[in-house]
Amino acid sequence: MGESMDEQLMYLMGGIGAVILLLVIILIVWIAIIGSRLKKLRKQYVAVMGNTGISNLEDVILELKQKLNEQEQQEEKLKKRVDAVESELPLVKGKIGIIRYNAFSEGGSDLSFSLAIVNEEKDGVVFSGLHGRDNTYMYAKPLQKGESNYPLTPEEKQVILLAK
In the chain, the amino acid numbered 138 is M
Residue type, 132: G
pLDDT digits (tens, 9 = 90+) for 77-124: 999 999 988 888 777 767 889 999 888 776 667 889 999 998 888 889
Largest interatomic CA distance in the chain = 152
Beta strands at 136-143 and 124-131: parallel, antiparallel or unpaired: antiparallel
The whole-chain average pLDDT of the chain stands at: 86
Total-model pTM: 0.50
Q: What is the 3-state secondary structure (H, E, C) of the chain?
A: CCCCHHHHHHHHHHHHHHHHHHHHHHHHHHHHHHHHHHHHHHHHHHHHHCCCCCCCHHHHHHHHHHHHHHHHHHHHHHHHHHHHHHHHHHHCCCEEEEEEECCCCCCCCCCEEEEEEECCCCCEEEEEEEECCCCEEEEEEEEECCECCCCCCHHHHHHHHHHC
Model confidence at 11: pLDDT above 90: no
* Between 34 and 108, residue with greater pLDDT: 34
Instruction: Give the pLDDT confidence score for residue 107 in this predicted structure.
Output: 65
Q: How far apart are CA 162 and CA 99, in angstroms?
A: 9
Neighbouring CB atoms inside 10 A of 142's CB total 12
Q: Which residue has the higher pLDDT, 106 or 34?
A: 34
